[in-house]
Amino acid sequence: MAQAIRVQQVSPLKASCHQCSLSNLCLPLAVEENDLDRLEDIVQQGKIYNRGEHIFDQSTPFRSCFAVKSGSVKTSIITEGGEEQVTGFFMPGELIGLDSMSSETYACTAKALERTSVCEFPVDKLEELTGKLPELQHHMYHLMSQEIQNSHQLAMLLSKNTAEERIAALLLSLSSRFRRRRMSATNFSLPMARNDIANFLGLAVETVSRVFTRFQNQGIIKARGREVELLDVEALQMVTRDFARQGSQ
Amino acid sequence: MAQAIRVQQVSPLKASCHQCSLSNLCLPLAVEENDLDRLEDIVQQGKIYNRGEHIFDQSTPFRSCFAVKSGSVKTSIITEGGEEQVTGFFMPGELIGLDSMSSETYACTAKALERTSVCEFPVDKLEELTGKLPELQHHMYHLMSQEIQNSHQLAMLLSKNTAEERIAALLLSLSSRFRRRRMSATNFSLPMARNDIANFLGLAVETVSRVFTRFQNQGIIKARGREVELLDVEALQMVTRDFARQGSQ
DNA sequence: CAACGACATTGATCATGGTCAAGTATAACA
DNA sequence: TGTTATACTTGACCATGATCAATGTCGTTG
């Protein structure tokens, strides 16, 4: 007993998928208990990044996908003109890099929004493994398909919805993702800056600010800086009209 | 020789992947000549749909992915409120249904824009086969990843670009896709209505119309109904500013 | 060939949200 | 603990594209 604990302490970076609290969200979700070792064989666990550090950079050779273990990550595309487009925010258990699997280089840049640890899955080994574990392959298809759907939902949000609707939708999406991770769904701290929110939702920072204060005046939320409290979730859902991205990123 | 031709004529629906002119764009692209038979075993070829007919419907049980063989297809999501969001246009050789692989039901509706024939790949068999053919698996990852990238590009277009830029981008995308299929890149017929273009690009129909005539007045294109001629591709590229979706859908 | 319906174009007006500018709060650092 | 840089908020004004309304064109069918 004491030995088992000691082993764990001696090699904290090798903490196994077996005892990771995210195993019900992350890749291990799809793998049988006895095959989990094979997944552990290919993963490099526990890399740590500080706020603002890049996990990978666009146009750099694509090697690995990454699962967020703790903290949070923002992905974005930089155009030739130097404009940034935020393509997603990622929370613990979510997989980054799926959009790069068609190219030799990363299709976007991933940046830690706070102190963040990630697990790295080299793609060559991952592909080899999914070829052997049908369940894992299925899960990969599942995740990638989900990513497509999310992106379609985002496109829809951008093309059809008002500023208020977009922001309400984002708040609700974050809320349900926090809930899944057993954190408060009504009381959380936004990992990203207003700027990132604006960019992600295709708005100006000023507009985001204005909508936040408007929601606040209506008693729907309480916000001070990045600290947010959802006071009236029903009202938020009303704002989003017909919007179906409930439990997904 | 004559026999070979006769066989082909007797069973036109069973025309093989081997002799399909799209094999360099479609799934066979990834498969060794000797493994092609296994792909043929699972595919149902040559289903024909008339203009306006649905290939599959949102919320219907998800069974298969489809490759366009000839014609063209539009996919769209219908929200609870009954609003439509066009998520993509598909041309011969392109694969439809990848966004549904994470759900029990189709995530969108696919509609033939003209008389269209498609090849059907039942997913259960497809997954089984990709488990055995690493090249095919890799290709599936590739296609899905591409789809994510396309969708991100669309999101970017919607959130950052003006009406003119969006339409120029769409025209260029169509152009390069026609070129790949060995059709004229400057002289083609739009398979979709102005309405679909507007919806896809997050614009009003009227705006699409206006931009078309503006481009025409500037001598950049010539358009009569769905018949389009690109007179000055350079100018179109200028309009799209920093835009990188060259050869992709 | 007439007549209908769907699709497309054009014009006039208006609203949402962008831009510019200034000011305030917060966080990072010496 | 002051000092600066960064993030956020608020206000005034303006532009792009949506909306409403009317007219025009095409293709289909009796």
- Phi/psi region, residue B137 (left: phi>0; alpha: psi -120 to 50; beta: rest), is alpha
Interface membership of A14 toward B (CB under 8 Å)? no
Residues of chain B with pLDDT under 50: 1-13, 242-249
SS3 sequence, A49-115?
ECCCCEEECCCCECCEEEEEEECCEEEEEECCCCCEEEEEEECCCCEECHHHCCCCECCCEEEECCC
Tell me the domains of chain A and their CATH numbers: 2-156 (2.60.120.10), 161-239 (1.10.10.10)
Q: What pLDDT score does B247 carry?
A: 38
Instruction: Measure B219 CA to C21 C1' (Å).
Output: 40
Facing residue for B155 by CB, picked from A127, A134, A154: A154
pLDDT tens by residue, chain A, 249 residues? 444 443 333 344 455 788 888 988 899 999 998 899 999 999 988 899 999 999 999 999 999 999 999 999 999 999 887 889 999 999 999 999 999 999 999 999 999 999 999 999 999 999 999 999 999 999 999 999 999 999 999 999 999 999 999 999 999 999 999 999 999 999 999 999 999 999 999 999 999 999 999 999 999 999 999 999 999 999 999 998 644 433 333
The answer to whether A171 and A201 are in contact (CB under 8 A) is: no
Q: CB-based contacts of B200: which residues, under 8 Å, 6+ apart?
A: B86, B87, B88, B89, B170, B192
Nearest to A158 among B134, B199, B202 (CB): B202
Cβ–Cβ of A148/B144 closer than 8 Å? yes
A55 touches B: beta carbon within 8 Å = no
B126 touches chain A (CB under 8 A): no
Using C1' positions and the CA of B209, the closest nucleotide is C9
Question: Protein A48 CA to nucleic acid C28 C1', in Å?
Answer: 22
Q: Do A202 and B159 touch (CB under 8 A)?
A: yes
A152–B87 C-beta distance less than 8 A: yes
Q: Cβ contacts (< 8 Å) between A131 and chain B: which residues?
A: 131, 134, 137
Q: To the nearest whole number, what is the mean pLDDT of chain B?
A: 90
Q: What is the pLDDT of residue A4?
A: 42
Residue of chain B minimizing CA distance to A82: B242
